[in-house]
Amino acid sequence: MMKVIAHIQTDFTAKFGIPRQSGLVESLQGKIVFEPEFRNPDAVRGLEEFSHIWLLWQFSKAVQDTWTATVAPPRLGGRTRMGVFATRSPYRPNSIGLSSVKLERVELDEKLGPVLYVSGADLLNGTPIYDIKPYLAYTDSHPEATAGFAGTVMDYELEVEFPEELLNRLPEEQRETVIQLLRQDPRPGTQEAVDKEYRMMFGNHDIWFHVVENRVIVHNVKVMP
């Protein structure tokens, strides 16, 4: 039986808008807080020497009792089905996710013990983490690897039209991050209607937009209470 060792704190309060892979938006910030049982500084001794780490975590909003052999990846339009083990879909026999993130720093908090600050995380706020391991470039990186059907959509990005008046409603440190998120096209793969309004929640802001061809057009930003 696996134990939850920590939870991550991010600005994603809803699944919509979370990048489909870690590292796509490098400026995304996260804070990993250990459960009381694992707040021993000795448990992370030496981790600060590594630039990147692996996170093994739970798709906590996708836990289910059944599974299907095929899923429809959003980047293929949500219509083409592939084998579940050929994808990174959250709907799996075991709801486990794997992400490589940059370790910005390790801080020792008086109450929380060691806290890990990371960037590039693709996790919902409050996601339970099962394990943390150092990323080793000499064995974990394979530049010659092929990407299968996923390789055909690696460079997919949209243009973003974000009126300055609306952009200024966001904290300055979040503006470029939000633009990068929108460039990744957060819409479900089957949604292509140009008149459809979408809503992405990030931190305490509600960002409303629609998509025309390859352009994301932001038309409102609301501050949540």
Q: Are residues 60 and 98 in the same domain?
A: yes
Angle at 7 between CA 129 and CA 92, to 5 degrees: 40
Asked if residue 206 and residue 120 are part of one domain, the reply reads no
Structure tokens at 77: 């339009």
Mean pLDDT of the chain: 90
Buried-exposed string 84-115: b where 16+ CB fall within 10 A, e elsewhere: beebbbbbbeebebebbbbbeebeeeeeebbb
Are 17 and 110 in a shared domain? yes
Same domain assignment for residues 216 and 172? yes
Answer whether residue 150 is part of any domain. no
- CATH number at 165 reads 3.30.2310.20
| Pair 22, 110 in one domain | yes
Could you tell me the pTM of the whole model? Answer: 0.88
Query: Could you tell me if 130 and 190 lie in one domain?
Result: no
| Identity at 97, one-letter amino acid code | G
24-69 pLDDT, tens per residue? 899 999 999 999 999 999 999 999 999 999 999 999 877 778 888 9
Which of 140, 165, 189 represents a domain boundary (last residue)? Answer: 140
**Is 105 found in the same domain as 24?**
yes
Please give the tally of structural domains in the chain: 2
182-217 pLDDT per residue, tens = 998 888 765 555 568 999 999 999 999 999 888 999
